[in-house]
């Protein structure tokens, strides 16, 4: 999915460059920008399938805007936005699903996601692998109370949001987050004898990932 987003951005950039050079018969790839929104929604849903409400809304909006740009959808796209949201609200109520993830939680840290919301997850017990995401929201992922294994891994995805990961001082951090109009920063200061390693990989697209003690 990250590759798809990168390809779409590159193609849009090439289209803008060729248009500036007055190259004839260049397709208007800018009309395909909603594909990025669709990809964001799919990634958010994949990171935590139980939190389907907002990811489906994001995907639905992306599809509507894409169809409008391709002249497939008659009328203004916004005429379709509110009906889609209302339908999803009804489906969510009937299914009894939780819409967001506001507040503080304590758990194993397996899959943690926030979409249009904020979440603070305090991980306890043994920890070796987990994933965290923030889409149009913020997530605090606290590993200081966990027993982190020697070669632990965290997959992070921040899109128009921010992720803060807190780690104990007996753990060294290896940050491998790919920034796409975003950024990541490792502010940790591990103990001199730290033997455990936490590898944090993922993507920060129009968002940020910060790691500290």
pLDDT tens digit string along 105-135?
A: 455 567 787 877 788 889 988 999 988 888 8
What is the C-alpha to C-alpha distance for residues 39 and 6, in angstroms, rounded to an integer? Answer: 11
What is the C-alpha to C-alpha distance for residues 207 and 213, in angstroms, rounded to an integer? Answer: 20
- DSSP bridge pairs for 174: 199
DSSP letters of the chain? -HHHHHHHHHHHHHHHHHHHTT-TT---GGGGTHHHHHHHHHHHHHH-TT--HHHHHHHHHHHHHHHHHTT-S-S-THHHHHHHHHHHHHHHHHHT------EEEEE--SEEEEESSEEEEEE-EEEEEEEEEEESSEEEEE-TTEEEEEEEEEEEEEESSEEEEE--TTEEEEEEEEEES-EEEE-----TT--EEEEEEEEEESSEEEEE-
**CB 154 within 8 Å of CB 199:** yes
Examine the pLDDT at 169 and tell me if it is beyond 90. Answer: yes
Identify the pLDDT of residue 188. Answer: 95
pLDDT band at 153 (very low <50, low <70, confident <90, very high): very high
Identify the pLDDT of residue 100. Answer: 46
Examine the pLDDT at 136 and tell me if it is beyond 50. Answer: yes
What is the C-alpha to C-alpha distance for residues 40 and 134, in angstroms, rounded to an integer? Answer: 10
Q: Which of 37-51, 65-79, 92-106, 112-126 has the lowest mean pLDDT?
A: 92-106
**CB 172 within 8 Å of CB 198:** yes
The region that residue 148 occupies, defined by phi over 0 for left and psi between -120 and 50 for alpha, beta otherwise, is: beta
Identify the pLDDT of residue 154. Answer: 93
> Regarding predicted confidence, which is higher, 48 or 121?
121
User: Average pLDDT of 76-97?
Assistant: 72
Domain boundaries along the sequence of the chain:
2-95, 103-212
pLDDT tens digit string along 56-74?
A: 778 888 888 888 887 888 8
Identify the pLDDT of residue 148. Answer: 92
The strands making up 125-135's β-sheet, listed across from edge to edge, are: 111-115, 125-135, 146-159, 196-205, 171-180
Is the C-alpha dihedral spanning 25, 31, 33, 34 positive or negative? negative
What is the C-alpha to C-alpha distance for residues 195 and 35, in angstroms, rounded to an integer? Answer: 43
pTM higher than the cut 0.75:
no
């Amino acid at each position: 999915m990250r590759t798809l987003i990168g390809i779409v951005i590159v193609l849009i950039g090439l289209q803008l460059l060729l248009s500036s050079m007055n190259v004839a018969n260049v397709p208007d790839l800018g009309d395909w920008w909603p594909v990025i929104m669709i990809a964001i929604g799919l990634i958010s849903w994949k990171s935590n399938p139980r939190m389907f409400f907002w990811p489906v809304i994001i995907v639905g909006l992306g599809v509507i805007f894409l169809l409008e740009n391709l002249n497939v959808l008659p009328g203004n796209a916004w005429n379709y936005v509110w009906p889609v949201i209302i339908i999803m609200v009804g489906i969510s109520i009937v299914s009894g699903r939780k819409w967001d993830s506001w507040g503080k939680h304590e758990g194993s840290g397996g899959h943690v996601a926030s979409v249009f919301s904020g979440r603070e997850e305090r991980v306890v017990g043994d920890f070796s692998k987990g994933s965290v995401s923030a889409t149009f929201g913020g997530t605090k992922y606290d590993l200081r109370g966990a027993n982190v294994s020697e070669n632990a891994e965290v997959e992070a995805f921040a899109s128009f949001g921010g992720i803060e990961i807190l780690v104990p001082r007996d753990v060294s951090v290896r940050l491998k987050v790919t920034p796409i109009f975003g950024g990541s920063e490792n502010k940790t200061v591990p103990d001199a004898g730290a033997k455990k390693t936490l590898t944090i990989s993922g993507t920060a697209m129009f968002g940020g990932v910060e790691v500290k003690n």
